Amino acid sequence: MNLLSYIKNVIDIEADSLRKLSEHVGPEFEAAVNEISECKGKVVITGVGKSGHVGKKIAASFASTGTPAFFVHSTEGVHGDLGMIEKEDVVIMISNSGETAEVLNLLPSLQKIGSKKIAITSKKVSTLSESCDITLAYQYDREADPLGLAPTTSSTTTLVIGDALAIALSILKGFKKEDFHLYHPGGSLGKQLSEKTQ
């Protein structure tokens, strides 16, 4: 297999996972959107490693499309950052395995705080899934690297789930170009929207 074939193979593996995700989206996804839309506080996303990096992007996408959100690193959470989370918030907890210790360590405090919890994981039967109010579970055949270890397919799938939630919420809220411009006045997108409103 030549280098170009390797590159195409990665894309094909991840694209196949997304097709399967679309086919298996169920009522729990709608329940998650409704839970977030009814939230009186903010959406808090948490995770570590690649899930943490994806979580930061999900939080940014939520915020820019009209759903107030921020990211809390799970490790920092148990060292004081849990103070950012209130009962009215919804916490989205990301763990591919559903058993990530740093993420699970947040559960006792979140239980006492009383915030709603949504899991994004590949393991429908896991400690995280069983501890959350709603679980958004995904399946994939393998990671895209030859060793089957590096988070690739799993992180892409998680990112797409976050995008889907953010966009569904923006549609539900009637989010308009003017609203997007309010939150995104800079860069080429901000310039493009400014020219359209003049």
Whole-number pLDDT of residue 192 = 62
- 136 burial (CB, 10 Å; 0-12 / 13-18 / 19+) is buried
At 166 the pLDDT is 96
Q: What distance in Å separates the CA atoms of residue 186 and residue 30, rounded to the nearest whole number?
A: 32
Instruction: State mean pLDDT over 14-31.
Output: 96
Instruction: Show Cβ contacts of residue 142 under 8 Å, excluding neighbours closer than 6 positions.
Output: 13, 148, 153
In the predicted model, is pLDDT for residue 179 greater than 80? no
Structure-token pair, residue 170 = 């923006």
Q: Rounded to an integer, what distance in angstroms lies between the CA atom of residue 70 and that of residue 52?
A: 12
Residue ranges of alpha helices (H) inside the chain are 3-23, 27-37, 49-64, 74-77, 101-104, 107-113, 127-131, 153-172, 177-183, 187-197
The structure tokens listed for 49 are: 């490693």
Distance CA 60, CA 188 (A): 17
For the entire predicted model, the pTM comes to: 0.91
Domain regions of the chain by residue span: 3-184
Domain 3-184 has CATH 3.40.50.410: no
pLDDT greater than 80 at residue 13: yes
Contact between residue 162 and residue 54 where contact means Cβ atoms under 8 Å apart:
yes
CA 66 – CA 170 distance, rounded (Å): 6
Is residue 110 exposed (0-12), middle (13-18) or buried (19+ Cβ within 10 Å)?
buried
Residue 196 has pLDDT above 90, yes or no: no
Distances 191 to 32, 64, 165, 180 between C-alpha atoms, Å: 34, 16, 27, 12
Count of C-beta atoms within a 10 Å radius of residue 97: 14
Mean pLDDT along residues 47-64: 97
- Tell me the pLDDT band of 178, cut-offs 50, 70 and 90: confident
Joined tokens for residue 61: 């996408």
